[in-house]
Amino acid sequence: MVELSVADVGLGLLLPAALAAEAVAANPRSRFQPWRGAVGLLVAFAAAYFTLELGPARPERAGSRWLPHLLVLAIPAGIIAARTRPWWFIATALALTGAAAGPLIVRDWWGMAAFWSVALGYVVLASAGGVLATRWPAAALAAAVGAMSAVAGYVLMEAALPRMAQIAGILGATAGGACLASLLPGRDPEGRAVRAMIPGFMVFLAALMFLAKVETYANVPPHVFAAVALAPAVLVLRRLHPFASVAGFLAILGYAAARTALA
């Protein structure tokens, strides 16, 4: 049974949720909403991460200590995704963001590990592209990220990676705060702040699942980590059948949780 201290709840859950909610709710009609969303995600997560001393501000080598810095890389893609742009332009920004994460989290990047940078680019393109393509209300987008973070946290706990599970919890709390703020009266009808957060959420979750697969020694099947990271990709099928795409998304997350429980 997981025991949460006052610091875990206050700093790890309530703090990022409050900061994310403020970023989404403040000045909903402002033209700077995309900036507020992309930067607000970084501020909300970093405030909890560094206050809880989960990692240094300047890591010495590639690995999970660089996870918060990926949210900085995702700011340009977030701003692009929140504005009306050609789809190919958004897709390029997403793929480049994922690929740029490789050198920060994959050791010996110039060796065979360079392959994983390309793979991360495709994963971020598929996952973030799937979420953004739904055109859901902002609250639904944030709720989808929250569901992914919750399943990721469970998988990471079962994989004997408590620090990474705590990180997933912070991410989920951030998504929860954005979701609640998106339900307030007078919110931005276009949900630009939340849309600007999606690339950051997705590159973070993709990198987190990749690192978990590499670092765990538990008996969690490798495809479970991939299933969590790629679950939103099925949402691109919404044009064929909107309800089936949502059911597929939830079914993949449910399978990942169930398969982990049976491992």
Q: What is the pLDDT of residues 119-147, one digit of tens each?
A: 889 999 999 998 988 888 999 999 999 99
The pLDDT of residue 109 is: 55
Which residues touch 26 (CB under 8 Å, ≥6 apart)?
A: 36
In the chain, where the domains are located: 6-262
Q: What is the pLDDT of residues 179-200, one digit of tens each?
A: 999 998 877 888 899 999 999 9
Q: Give the confidence band of 239 by pLDDT, cuts at 50, 70, 90.
A: low
pTM for the whole thing? 0.91
Does 211 have pLDDT greater than 60? yes
Which residues touch 25 (CB under 8 Å, ≥6 apart)?
A: 181, 184, 187
The pLDDT of residue 218 is: 86
68-89 burial: b if 16+ Cβ within 10 Å, else e: bbbbebbbebbbbbbbeeeeee
Backbone angles phi, psi at 29, to 5 degrees: -95, 0
Q: What is the pLDDT of residues 21-46, one digit of tens each?
A: 999 988 777 888 899 999 999 999 99
The pLDDT of residue 1 is: 45
